[in-house]
Amino acid sequence: MFRLAAIVSVFLLSIAPTLAKPLVAEVSLSQQVLTIVYKGKAIATWQVSTGRAGYRTPTGSFRPMRMYREYYSKQYDDSPMPNSVFYDRGYAIHGSYDTGSLGRPASHGCIRLHPADAEKFFDLVVTVGAENTRIIVRN
C-alpha cells in the first residue's frame, strides 16, 4: 500500500507544474509552428518565423518576463514588435508585419507571429496571468 501511495505521489508531483500552468505556448522550431494549449487542450496552431541562419532561438521552458503592447527593437533599427511577450533576456514572441516569412526561419532569434495571432496570444497571457503561462521552445 505504501509503495502505491509513493508512486501516486511521485506522479502527481511530476504533473503539478503542468496543472499549475493552464496556458502553454509550445513552439516547434523544426515545424515553425506555435501551438497554444489551454488547460491541456490544443486551441490554436499558428505559423511562426524563428532564428534564421546565423541567429538562434533559445530552446527550453520559460515563463513570460515582461510584456508590451507596443515595442520597438532597440537592436534592429526600431523595428516594430507589436504585442511582445519577452521570455528570455531580449527574446520575445511578438507580431511581425513581414507575414510572407511565416512558416520558415527568418528572424534574429525572436519568435514572430502574424500580428493578429500575436494580439490573441498577448490577450491570453493577460487573461490567465504571466505566472500561469509557460513557453516551451523545442527543436
pLDDT in tens, 60-115: 999 999 999 999 998 888 899 999 999 999 999 999 999 999 999 999 999 999 99
**Quick one: how far is CA 83 from the chain centroid?**
12
Name the pLDDT band for 39 (thresholds 50, 70, 90): very high
pTM for the predicted model, two decimal places: 0.84
Q: Is the pLDDT of residue 18 over 60?
A: no
What pLDDT does residue 137 have? 98
What pLDDT does residue 8 have? 38
What pLDDT does residue 20 have? 52
Q: Kindly report each contact of residues 80-86 with a partner whose C-beta sits within 8 Å and lies 24 or more positions away, as own/partner.
A: 81/110, 82/115, 82/118, 82/119, 83/115, 83/118, 83/119, 83/121, 83/122, 84/122, 85/121, 85/122, 85/125, 85/135
What pLDDT does residue 21 have? 61
Q: Is the pLDDT of residue 130 over 80?
A: yes
Q: Could you tell me the CATH superfamily of domain 2-138?
A: L,D-transpeptidase catalytic domain-like (2.40.440.10)
